[in-house]
Structure 1
Amino acid sequence: MYHPFFQFVLPRLGQAALDILLYLNFLQLPPLQLVAQWPVLYYGLPLVLMALLAYISRDPLGLGIVFVGHLVTFYCIGTGIGLVLRRVGGAPLTVWHIFWLGGITPWLLTGFIMWWGRRRALRLCTTKYNLTTQKALPNGQLRIVQISDVHPRACAAMDRTRIPELREKVAACQPDLLVLTGDIFDEYTEKEDFDAFCQFFGEIDAPLGKYYVLGNHDLFHHWREP
Structure 2
Amino acid sequence: MVKVLSAAAAGGCIYFAWPAYGWGGVAILHLIAISLFLELVNFIIKKTHGSRRKWETVYKSGILVFVIMALIFTYGYYNMHQIRKTGYRITSSKFQEGETLKIALMSDIHLGVTMQAQDLKNWCKKIQRQDPDIILLAGDIFDENTKREEMEQAAKVLGNMKSTYGVFYVYGNHDSNQYVEKPEYRSEDMRQALKEADIHVLEDEAVLAGDDICVIGRKDAGDKDRKSLKEIMKDVPDDKFYLLMDHQPGDLKENNRQGIDLQLSGHTHAGQIWPTGQLMELMGVNEINYGYRKTGNLQTIVTSGMAGWGYPIRTGGHCEYVMIEVTAP
Normalised by the length of structure 2, the TM-score is 0.49
One of 129, 133, 139 as aligned partner of 2:88:
129
One of 168, 172, 186 as aligned partner of 2:129:
172
Give the letter aligned to residue 116 of structure 1.
Y
**Structure 2 unaligned regions, length at least 5:** 189-329
Query: How big is the shift at 1:144?
Result: 0.9
Distance 1:106 1:181, change over 3 A: farther
Query: How big is the shift at 1:208?
Result: 2.0
1:106-125 → structure 2 map (5 Å cutoff): 106-125=65-84
Q: Where does residue 34 of structure 2 map in the other structure?
A: 74
Q: Is this contact kept in 2: 1:124–1:166, CA < 8 A?
A: no
- CA separation in 2, counterparts of 1:111 and 1:126? 28
1:24-103 → structure 2 map (5 Å cutoff): 39=1, 42-90=2-50, 93-94=52-53, 96-97=55-56, 100=59, 102-103=61-62
Query: How big is the shift at 1:85?
Result: 2.5
Deviations 1:91-115 (A, max 9, x none): 7x44643663622212121122212
Query: How big is the shift at 1:147?
Result: 0.9
CA RMSD of aligned residues (A): 2.6
Distance 1:192 1:210, change over 3 A: same
- CA separation in 2, counterparts of 1:107 and 1:184? 34
Q: Where does residue 24 of structure 1 map in the other structure?
A: none
Q: Is this contact kept in 2: 1:151–1:186, CA < 8 A?
A: yes
| Identity across matched positions, percent | 24
Q: Which structure has greater strand proportion? A: 2
SS of aligned partner of 2:169: strand
Deviations 1:170-196 (A, max 9, x none): 212222122222321121222222222
1:149-168 → structure 2 map (5 Å cutoff): 149-153=108-112, 156-168=113-125
One of 142, 145, 149 as aligned partner of 1:192:
149
Give the letter aligned to residue 140 of structure 1.
E
Give the letter aligned to residue 204 of structure 1.
M
Query: How big is the shift at 1:139?
Result: 6.2
- CA separation in 2, counterparts of 1:84 and 1:120? 32
Q: Where does residue 25 of structure 1 map in the other structure?
A: none
SS of aligned partner of 2:85: coil
Query: How big is the shift at 1:71?
Result: 1.7
Give the letter aligned to residue 74 of structure 2.
W
- CA separation in 2, counterparts of 1:89 and 1:122? 42
SS of aligned partner of 2:25: helix
Higher RCO by CA contacts (8 Å cutoff, separation 6 or greater): 2
- CA separation in 2, counterparts of 1:95 and 1:130? 54
Give the letter aligned to residue 216 of structure 1.
N
Deviations 1:37-57 (A, max 9, x none): xx2xx2222332333333333
Query: How big is the shift at 1:118?
Result: 1.5
**Structure 1 unaligned regions, length at least 5:** 1-38
SS of aligned partner of 1:61: coil
Query: How big is the shift at 1:73?
Result: 0.9
- CA separation in 2, counterparts of 1:58 and 1:169? 40
Query: How big is the shift at 1:84?
Result: 3.1
One of 209, 212, 216 as aligned partner of 2:166:
209
- CA separation in 1, counterparts of 2:59 and 2:172? 40
Q: Is this contact kept in 2: 1:126–1:169, CA < 8 A?
A: no
Q: Where does residue 183 of structure 1 map in the other structure?
A: 140
- CA separation in 1, counterparts of 2:97 and 2:16? 52
**Count of paired positions:** 183
Larger radius of gyration: 1
Q: Is this contact kept in 1: 2:121–2:157, CA < 8 A?
A: no
- CA separation in 1, counterparts of 2:141 and 2:97? 28
- CA separation in 1, counterparts of 2:171 and 2:97? 28
